Amino acid sequence: MPPGKIGTIQKEDYSNITEYILNFSDIESDNNKDWVSFSDPSSIDKPDERKSLFENRVIKNFDDISDQDINYPKENDWTSWRRTPLGFGYSPLKQVNKENVQKLKLSWSLTMNEGSNQGTPLISQGVMFLTHPGNMIQALSAANGRLIWEYKYPYPKDSMLLGGPTKNIAMYKDKVFMATYDAALIALDIRTGKLLWKNIKADYKDGYTHSSGPIIANGVVISGINGCERYIEDGCFITGHDPDSGKELWRTSTVALSEDINGSSWGNTPDIFRAGSDTWIAGSYDPELNIFYIGTSQAKPWVAASRGMSPNEKALYTNSTLAMNPQTGKILWFFQHIQGETIDMEVGFERILADIDDKKLLLTIGKDGILWKLDREKGNFIDLKETINQNIYKKVDRNKGKVVYRDDILLSKIDTPFSACPGIYGGHNWQAVSYDPESYLMVIPLHQLCADMIGRYVERKEGGGGYGANSRNYKMDNTNGKVGKLVTIDIKNMEKIWQYEQDAMFLTGSLSTAGGLTFIGDLDRKFMAFDTKTGILLWDTTLGSALHGFPVTYAVNGKQYIAVQTGMGVFRAMTSVISPDIYQPEGGNTIYVFELQDNY
């Protein structure tokens, strides 16, 4: 009631209606609203009556999150996507270390919503803010997993794409911020979980959505967007918002339109057909330079011929690092890693802001497995390093920072297949690297996969567009079937220190700690700890499903915890074909939290 359950009456409403009717009858009420009627087996199995009656509580004695808390968090906390806005994925905690990591045990776990479970828990003052698939956030006791409050955003069902990943949320002052499936940005009261404001950035029916969340940069909530493959007048953009009201402060196009100084890089392509340049991953922020950095993805459709262009046309600002003023959105400098990209070989992932002596560096790695090293003050190229076998470039110039495609890729035409190693899944992908600033070592998850691709004809019409390609994926040759690979690079000299290969793909970001450990999870349900300096596997455990998302570590009351999530997402369609011998359970979305045994 009513038919179709449109505007469904809640259980409490039924009770109130019953009470109202009883007031006008001779029947006495016992004021008990918890009666359940049992008539036959079907009356027992009623999903609507199995819903939790848990009522949200208030987080007590919780201080507002300051700029200091975000930029330079207390060692116990994890207050931004990669702990700090510098993007390290590193914690100074070392209670768990190389000597005692084998004594880790499960502390607590919690079942999560089904969907693409690529999230990152945030922790402050003993409270964990956990993002579930389905645009749900929970506040939990970080010590035992007990629920404090939860908020479920009522998104339109047709706005969830790619299994609904939400890689990160943000928190600042008295609020938690989430970018939603239907292209909105929302703020919740950090203590109660109540919705405070909502800003609709774009129309999700035009294909716009979010797969990652915002970053806080000098008091501004900065948010990218996805779904830019369609031919839409609004194009692709990044926005800055006031944290108190959600008001949009600025909007910067990630595509060089015709009036832009670099507009000619798209040739004679009309503005409405300049698609792509999404921002799939949250950016990084340098509080000392007051510069926000983010990576953009490739032009779309994927193959240059499908978009009526040549790979020799740069199509700015695709596949670039953008350095931006967080107050105005002005692009201060850009560096394009691959011009006129034509294989879905984006370089749109995490940006690591590292310092070596007096040099301020930015490092990033794309699907092609090339690690780039830039001067983050001015955007000048410094060095690069190939971390995986590749055959897509006929030339990689380490002195000038230029890559040149094979001739058959440069000249590829519609409906003509070509091969690419690595392929559309990488190489590297969203599984973020970690960086240990004490040893200057960067641990990089990689996939040893190739792909064949065929570009298709895509009609130039408003509302059209898309990826415009077919592909098939397969294992790289000469790897003995080992799809998963870890490579550790010393970023001072860009030399490889160690590598580790295995059959199963690594499906989480890596997490490094001052205890000399790097944690990571894989397709085969394994959660592992490596010696960061040597690559020796020190500990592993088998969980309920393939691992996913971004592991974190934190401490409460002097005890260190390590948290990781499980639950496959969009990769499942590929991994089931690439690794059929590895059992991949349906479902299994869970967060697992580990601690040392009591005598350690």
Cβ pair 91, 83 in contact under 8 A? yes
Instruction: Supply the pLDDT for residue 244.
Output: 98
Please report the pLDDT score of residue 105 as a whole number. 98
pLDDT at 517 over 60: yes
Mean pLDDT of 313-322: 97
pLDDT at 9: 58
Residue 569 has what pLDDT?
75
Q: pLDDT of 209-222, one tens digit each?
A: 999 999 999 999 99
In angstroms, the CA 552 to CA 597 distance is: 19
Residue whose entry in the numeric block shows the structure tokens 């995490």? 350
Q: Is the pLDDT of residue 29 over 70?
A: no
Q: What is the pLDDT of residue 162?
A: 83
Integer angstrom CA distances of residue 410 from 262, 328, 335, 339, 470: 22, 37, 21, 11, 18
Q: What is the pLDDT of residues 142-181, one digit of tens each?
A: 999 999 999 999 999 999 988 889 999 999 999 999 999 9
Alpha-carbon distance of 281 to 346, in angstroms, equals 12
pLDDT in tens, 51-105: 778 999 999 999 999 999 999 999 999 999 999 999 999 999 999 999 999 999 9
Q: 36 falls in which pLDDT band (50, 70, 90)?
A: low
Stretch 18-37: mean pLDDT: 61
pLDDT in tens, 109-134: 999 999 999 999 999 999 999 999 99
| Triad 383, 389, 392: Cα angle to 5° | 85
Q: Can you tell me whether residue 194 is helix, strand or coil?
A: coil
Instruction: Report the pLDDT value the prediction gives residue 219, as an integer from 0 to 100.
Output: 98
Those residues with Cβ within 8 angstroms of residue 342's Cβ, 6 or more apart along the chain or in another chain = 302, 303, 304, 305, 311, 405, 409, 410, 412, 455
| Phi/psi-derived region of residue 146, left when phi > 0, alpha when psi is between -120 and 50, beta in every other case | beta
What percent of the chain is predicted at pLDDT more than 90? 88
Q: Please compute the mean of the pLDDT values over residues 248-264 and round it to a whole number.
A: 97
Q: What CA–CA distance (Å, rounded) separates 208 from 541?
A: 39
Amino acid 37: pLDDT: 65
Q: How many residues does the chain have?
A: 600
Q: What is the predicted pLDDT for the residue at 138?
A: 98
Residue 290 has pLDDT above 80, yes or no: yes
Q: Rounded mean pLDDT of 190-201?
A: 98
**pLDDT reported for residue 31:** 57
CB 99 within 8 A of CB 600: no
Cβ neighbours of 233 (radius 10 Å): 9
Instruction: Flag whether pLDDT at 4 surpasses 60.
Output: no
Q: What is the mean pLDDT of residues 378-383?
A: 98
Q: Is the CA virtual torsion 515, 517, 518, 522 positive or negative?
A: negative
Mean pLDDT computed over 468-486: 95
Q: For 341-370, what is the mean pLDDT?
A: 96
| Cis ω before 317 (30° cut-off from 0) | yes
Q: How far is CA 450 from the centre of its chain?
A: 23
Structure tokens at 277: 């340049």
Q: Which two tokens stand for residue 420?
A: 């690419």
- pLDDT at res. 2: 47
**Per-residue pLDDT for 269 more than 60?**
yes
Residues 400-450 have pLDDT tens digits of: 999 999 999 999 999 999 999 999 999 999 999 999 999 999 999 999 999
pLDDT above 50 for 359: yes
Q: How confident is the model at residue 572 (pLDDT cuts 50, 70, 90)?
A: confident
Question: How many Å apart are CA 296 and CA 255, to the nearest integer?
Answer: 9
* pLDDT score, position 45: 65
**Residue 39's pLDDT is what?**
66
Class of residue 546 by CB neighbours under 10 A (exposed 0-12, middle 13-18, buried 19+): buried
Mean pLDDT, the chain, as a whole number? 93
Rounded CA-CA distance 232/268 in Å is 17
Q: Quick one: pLDDT at residue 490?
A: 98
What is the share, in percent, of the chain residues with pLDDT greater than 70?
91
Asked if 164 and 226 count as a contact pair (C-beta separation under 8 A), the reply is: no
User: At residue 587, what is the residue type?
Assistant: G
What is the pLDDT, as a whole number, of residue 5? 45
Tell me the C-alpha distance between 77 and 312, whole Å.
Answer: 46
The class level of CATH for 45-460+471-596 reads: mainly beta
Q: Is the peptide bond before 85 cis (omega within 30 degrees of 0)?
A: no
Average pLDDT over residues 563-584: 90
Question: Quick count: other Cβ atoms within 10 Å of Cβ 28?
Answer: 7
Cα–Cα distance measured from residue 319 to residue 296, given in angstroms and rounded to the nearest whole number = 5
pTM of the predicted model as reported, rounded to 2 decimal places? 0.93
Across the range 457-464, mean pLDDT stands at: 94
Q: What is the pLDDT of residue 3?
A: 43
Instruction: Please name the residue that has the structure tokens 């055959």.
Output: 391
Judged by average pLDDT, the poorest of 188-197, 388-397, 591-600 is 591-600
Sheet of strand 495-502: strand arrangement: 434-436, 441-447, 484-490, 495-502
Comparing C-alpha atoms, which of 449, 553, 516, 500 is closest to residue 120? 553
Q: Residue 523's Cα: distance from chain center in Å?
A: 17
Which residues have C-beta within 8 Å of that of residue 304, sequence separation ≥ 6?
Answer: 310, 311, 313, 340, 341, 342, 412, 455
Q: Which two tokens stand for residue 548?
A: 């996913």
Residue from 301, 317, 318 nearest 309 by CA: 301
Close Cβ partners of 78 (under 8 Å, ≥ 6 residues apart): 91, 121, 122, 123, 124, 552, 553, 554
pLDDT at residue number 94: 98
